[in-house]
Amino acid sequence: MSPVIAPAALPSASTLAPVAVVQKAKPAPYGWTLYIVRSGDTLGAIADRRGTTTGALVARNKLRHGGHQLAIGQRLWIPKSAGQAGAEAAHARAVRAARAAAIRRATYVVRSGDTLGGIAARRGVSLAALLKANHLSTRSVLQVGQKVRIPGSSAASTHRPTAKASKARTTSRTTTTRYRVRSGDTLGAIATRTRTPLASLYAWNRLGPRSIIHPGQTIKVRRTVAVARVARTSIYTVRSGDTLSGIAVRHRTTMAALLKTNHLANANHLVVGQHLRVPARRASTASSANTFAGRTYPSTTVNAASRNRSTLAHSRVPTRSQTRAMIVATARRHGVDPRLALAIGWQESGWNQRQVSVANAIGVMQVIPSSGQWASEMAGRRLNLLNTQDNITAGVVILRSLTRSASSLDQAIAGYYQGLYSVQHHGMYADTKGYVRAVKAHRARF
């Protein structure tokens, strides 16, 4: 018989050499985004372009047959590129900076001497809205340190400026300076903001009551050397349901001032159609053309925004009702809630394609150029943000990506303003919460 050869002894676990553990890289370090399959695409080519593996794409999209059968127009979840993530972050920063001044803070801490009417006037909301938001009444007593919720600002009432003004209580020597017209400006508003008599504004700039001004245009306004305390008034026409206290709050004045200005004995005898003289609000001086919401932008950005603003000022754009219809149709085409798209568009620009911010956020959906490139990739074609339809498409596909990547509607809305990555990792900032509330309120109306 052949000798039996004993098997070699197996090494014990204690004698095994240590094995290095390789940490598996995340397949999508910047998150996922949707991609539309084009002619000639293969899963391997898409994986190579995005720095991932076919296995990761198959698993994320639950593909059958290993993803060997892709169809043109098929939608795939693919990893976001670093460039896309950077564009989204840049978009969020620009929009947040451009909107920060317009979003009201969520709460107000009561200080000594505060009244509900004074808080409402200071924060630009109606007294009725403030009472309703806090479940208070006109007889409620405020405590120092108490937190009062501030609702969204109410729409400004329509009033007709009057050319009459009282004489200056002190004289002042004035020279002129240049003011750059911003989107939404009117000659009356500029005159009030810069404390320039409207007649002087017309004379210095060879303008008249029917003259049209454009964003980016520069006009002469008053530069005050010695400040003069000039009391100006506007005319307000009483409407059904108006009260003197409500009118005072809307125009940031006091009932006492209204009673005195209009020589009224009491506040209980208002008549619909009656004209009231309303003391004008204290106006702020014009700010630097490079600064908005406390942030100063580089001249290259401001100059690009100025060029885009000038181009749009001389271009034909759809009416507001036409723009609304375009938003609805585009949202439906891309599977986005039309009411949400309308609300974002309204909050961003009031459905105004000519709106261009200092940060160069353009058009109806206020999209900056880098985000426009990201949107173009998602849309599968180059989008021109100066074109109303392309601008709406850019905003809608960005919104589509956010709603599909976010864990909630609130998070998606916040992502449009603050950036989804920032929201997911740092939470919503106070002004972002105000933005979300405003958008949701618009959505409910639409």
Question: Within this chain, do residues 351 and 369 fall inside the same structural domain, yes or no?
Answer: yes
Q: Which of 173-177, 214-218, 264-268 has the lowest mean pLDDT?
A: 264-268
Question: Within this chain, do residues 64 and 94 fall inside the same structural domain, yes or no?
Answer: no
pLDDT of residue 161: 39
Q: 395 pLDDT band (50/70/90 cuts)?
A: very high
State the chain's mean pLDDT as an integer.
Answer: 76
Q: How far is CA 348 from CA 184, 283, 314, 406, 438, in A?
A: 13, 24, 21, 20, 11
pLDDT of residue 67: 67
Residue whose token pair is 């698993």: 59
* Cα(170)–Cα(155) distance, integer angstroms: 34
Question: Within this chain, do residues 73 and 89 fall inside the same structural domain, yes or no?
Answer: no
Question: Within this chain, do residues 48 and 131 fall inside the same structural domain, yes or no?
Answer: no
Q: Which of 164-173, 213-222, 365-374 has the lowest mean pLDDT?
A: 164-173
pLDDT of residue 155: 33
* Cα(305)–Cα(287) distance, integer angstroms: 16
Strands (DSSP E) contained in 80-149 are 107-109, 147-149
Question: Within this chain, do residues 215 and 310 fall inside the same structural domain, yes or no?
Answer: no
pLDDT of residue 171: 44
Question: Within this chain, do residues 317 and 383 fall inside the same structural domain, yes or no?
Answer: yes
Question: Within this chain, do residues 41 and 138 fall inside the same structural domain, yes or no?
Answer: no
Average pLDDT over residues 370-398: 92
Choose the final residue of a domain: 185, 200, 224: 224
Residue whose token pair is 């585009």: 330
pLDDT of residue 385: 95
**Is residue 271 a part of any domain in this protein?**
no
Domain count, the chain: 4
**Is residue 159 a part of any domain in this protein?**
no
Who has greater pLDDT, 136 or 65?
136
Environment class of 133 (CB within 10 Å of its CB; exposed 0-12, middle 13-18, buried 19+):
middle
Q: How far is CA 195 from CA 171, 234, 284, 286, 393, in A?
A: 14, 14, 9, 10, 41
Mean pLDDT is highest, among 183-197, 249-263, 427-441, for 427-441
Q: 327 pLDDT band (50/70/90 cuts)?
A: very high
**Is residue 60 a part of any domain in this protein?**
yes
Q: What is the CATH number of the domain that holds 175?
A: 3.10.350.10
Query: What percent of the chain lies above the pLDDT cut of 90?
Result: 17
Question: Within this chain, do residues 370 and 436 fall inside the same structural domain, yes or no?
Answer: yes
DSSP 396: H
Taking 60 as the threshold, does the pLDDT of residue 249 lie above it?
yes
* Cα(133)–Cα(110) distance, integer angstroms: 15
pLDDT in tens, 61-111: 888 777 677 888 888 889 987 777 777 777 777 667 666 544 545 678 888
Taking 80 as the threshold, does the pLDDT of residue 311 lie above it?
yes
Q: 247 pLDDT band (50/70/90 cuts)?
A: confident
Question: Within this chain, do residues 173 and 67 fall inside the same structural domain, yes or no?
Answer: no
pLDDT in tens, 341-377: 999 998 888 898 998 887 788 999 999 888 888 899 8
Choose the final residue of a domain: 190, 209, 224: 224
Range of the domain at 407: 83-102+297-445
Specify whether the CB–CB gap between 279 and 235 falls below 8 A: no
pLDDT of residue 162: 40
pLDDT of residue 364: 94
Phi, psi at residue 108, to the nearest 5°?
A: -130, 130
Cβ-based neighbour number of residue 282 at 10 Å: 9
Closest CA to 343 of 276, 307, 268, 395: 395
pLDDT of residue 283: 42
pLDDT of residue 286: 39
